[in-house]
Structure 1
């Protein structure tokens, strides 16, 4: 396969999303063909970078990384080459170069995502809730912006991109709540240090049984926040073409249910990895179709983190 053979790159990306996320794979089928292929190409690059940074295979099996700086350098260099139109021989990176050029994705969003991987490579931990949201922007909100642009949103439409950012934050907050135990096993913790101090939880001890009530409370905070950002993103979806709106609303519901399940399970949320069943996903596809034809509940952005806070 030549690295810039678009049909082959799309086929590789389709396989990547099928292996990496059943939820996103299902939601992507609701897009029109052009948008679907572009979404796959963007996903494959994000997945490859994330796998490199986390020592995973399509999002599975996170491990402790002992060459984080080298991995960051590699994914940064490959992304730079793909951005410049140089064939890398890596389908995920070459596919990103194709979709970035086709949709004229602003470079800053790719750089913002890589900055999130850099934080993990440095062993970074959030001190405050604002730090947590800033991290969520880098690893997911920036992807929301790129997705919105490939769905046709004007790169200068800051209001819609703010809502797209909110969807990324909603997804990432749900991920963090669900994966607290998995992250701890890989020596990572995304619970703000101020929260841990508030509940007198010693660093690195949040999974210990005596601190399970405190952990449950902190996870609820993450899930409640995820739900607020999801509600905001649903308003922004109104600016999208109908099929894209349908896909986004389905993904929002499916992923939103992960946060809601973690919250409902309380102290048992980490006994097994929380997921949504195929039936639950299909129900959200049907529900989202009706929602795409209607009007969402009003949801302002007052009090929510904003991209304007990046330098704060």
Structure 2
């Protein structure tokens, strides 16, 4: 019944869930024919689907040869990330592996059979991935190898180093996500589906990655604490508590929320760059690929802002809300309207006593100036009384059916992934 109550409170979710289930997903996630691929590529796409809940579908929706390049790029970085995450590998082995990992792309027999991580298959069958990498056009190979090298060096740097200053937070996020944004942008331009400026403007591409990574780090505070990881910058949290873990204590909840709000304000400063970047994209499949994670991120930050639940459990956007965002974020006007909606939601929740309130208001003002909606999208969430009544009746009749919506769809619409 809890699910039913949620839907009654958000009847628009019913419409979009049904629309998505009844074929709307093909707009943003058209299916690829696996029979058209060779054995190696089929194996790579199988690994992609096994290792990524959020990205597999949109990667497979990309146009032309770009699809294969991004698939291989993802798997190469997944293999690199698996090495970094594996705590059973000693540092004297791990550090050289991370730094030299890009060279393994050109070693047909290289593989690693001793990982204990859940995605170890990408290391155990790395010869298949590296073979398909070498089958890519050289322009794609050069991008993937270069980003892999830079990311490996950055990961090695932060293995025994905690994130202290806000500039180090930016640097860490650059290594693990900003470089991904830069690499993807270079692949977009290399495919000629996008103009050269998309791949050349590394500052905007970096911001695309930083916005997503910071959102994940902010949202995942409690999960990271439980697993012994710390990614919030000391420069910020030390103003509110002596130890980052102390933010979970009930007596510290007010300070914890103020720290949370400051970090969300920091993340929001990337939104103007995100909007500028998206406005340059011309290819529909590339636009969908880039825009969907960004609108998921702004919705997640709006849910987390000034929310004590971040320190008590998991804060997620609703599945129906996520599907609505996926269906709407297919053009620039809609994306601007979505950004405007969620920064307004944050603005309405800013406490007058919050230490970051002035900064939060300032960055929201700059986002408003870039995303002020116009035309029909300005009222994208206004529904007539007749529509609401019908939707509520539909919710009462179909809540049990919708609760059985396919597992693949539910996994995809999770709001982001580390």
Cα deviation code 1:24-72 (max 9, x no counterpart): 23433442142222222111122222222123xxxxxxxx656244234
State the SS of the aligned residue for 1:280: helix
1:80 pairs, out of 87, 98, 103, with: 103
Distance 1:130 1:294, change over 3 A: closer
Distance 1:230 1:12 in 2: 37
Q: Which runs of 5+ in 1 are unaligned?
A: 1-5, 56-63, 300-312
- Give per-residue Cα distances to partners, 1:241-281, cap 9 Å, x unaligned: 322123211121123323332226x1112444344454333
Instruction: Supply the distance in 1 between the matched residues of 2:131 and 2:259 (Cα, whole angstroms).
Output: 40
- Look at both structures and tell me which one has the larger radius of gyration over its CA atoms: 2
Assess, with a 3 A threshold, how the Cα gap between structure 1 residues 289 and 190 changes in structure 2: closer, same or farther: same
Matched, 1:253 2:284: no
SS in 1 for 2:55: helix
- Separation in 2 of the partners of 1:217 and 1:99? 48
Structure 1 residues 77 and 166, CA gap change in structure 2 (3 angstroms):
same
Partner of 1:220: 261
Quick one: structure 1 residues 92 and 107, their matched pair in 2 at CA, closer, same or farther if it must change by over 3 Å? closer
Partner of 1:175: 216
TM-superposed CA distance for 1:191, in Å, is: 1.8
Gaps of 5+ in 2: 1-36, 112-125, 340-365, 368-418
Q: State the partner residue of 1:58.
A: none
CA distance in 2 between counterparts of 1:29 and 1:66 reads: 33
Match of 1:131 in 2: 168
5 Å-filtered alignment, 1:64-213, equals 67-82=90-105, 84=106, 86-89=108-111, 90=126, 91-96=128-133, 101-103=138-140, 104-105=142-143, 107-122=145-160, 124-152=161-189, 160-202=201-243, 204-213=245-254
- Cα separation, 2, equivalents of 1:268 and 1:74: 39
**What is the TM-score when the length of structure 1 is the normalising length?**
0.76
Q: Tell me the number of residue pairs that the alignment of Structure 1 and Structure 2 aligns.
A: 284
The RMSD of aligned alpha carbons is 3.3
Q: Residue 127 of structure 1: SS of its match in structure 2? A: coil
Shift in Å, 1:226: 2.7
Whether 1:45 and 2:76 are equivalent positions in the alignment is yes
Instruction: Give how far 1:289 is off.
Output: 1.3
- In 1, the alpha carbon distance for the partners of 2:248 and 2:89 equals 23
